[in-house]
Amino acid sequence: MELVSTRSMQVRSLGIPDVLLVTSTSFDDERGQFFETYREDALSEAVGRPVRIVQTNVSVSRRGVLRGIHGTAVPPGQAKLVSCLRGAVLDFAVDLRVGSPTFGAYEMTVLDARSAAAVYLGEGLGHAFYAMEDDTCVQYQCTAGYVPQDVITVDAFDPDIGLPLRLPRPPVMSPGDTDAPSLRALLDAGRLPSYEDCRPPAR
């Protein structure tokens, strides 16, 4: 469902609450390409509350790297706007919010440097991506700063989530991602955020 449409940007909801696809209009001429990657007014209107970016991160990955699933405890919470500046990724938003109607479900999007698109993930959602090209550069614009003890890491190969990671060879992963617990283990330990704590207030 389309939530916002302007001359330069369109925002529509995907299948999980608070996961949005942000598509920018590209203005091309003989010099190349120009597009907006973020508009506070458009994204805030779509989300239903102000979206303030306070930290921007960039990762560079070679082909075959798998990062995630990473989320953040709520509170404090952290929403993200994820875009691919170079290369291409399979990008996943995973619902980690206990009580959500889509708990444990995922949305997969292909992001690349040519699409002028980004995925917004609200608070309490997990994020992962698989790099499909060498020198892939991903940007994360975050609504809260990084706090190591608030990070939630979930096994990307958890069969209860079922990410479609049918890969030609084992991915390159960090030790923390390789040894990450399952969604069920985190649920039983009480480490997952609640859906109600993550939802924006009613308009």
CA distance 82 to 56: 10
CA distance 144 to 76: 8
Active site residue 146: no
Rg (Cα) of the chain, in Å, rounded?
16
CA distance 71 to 11: 22
91 by Cβ neighbours in 10 Å (0-12 / 13-18 / 19+) ranks as buried
Active site residue 127: no
**Strand arrangement of the beta sheet that strand 19-24 belongs to:** 2-5, 9-13, 19-24, 117-121, 80-86, 136-142, 55-61
CA distance 95 to 122: 10
Residue of 38, 70, 120, 130 marked catalytic: 70
Residues 6+ apart with CB under 8 A from 108: 90, 91, 92, 163, 164
Residue of 106, 130, 140, 195 marked catalytic: 140
- Catalogue the active-site residues: 70, 140
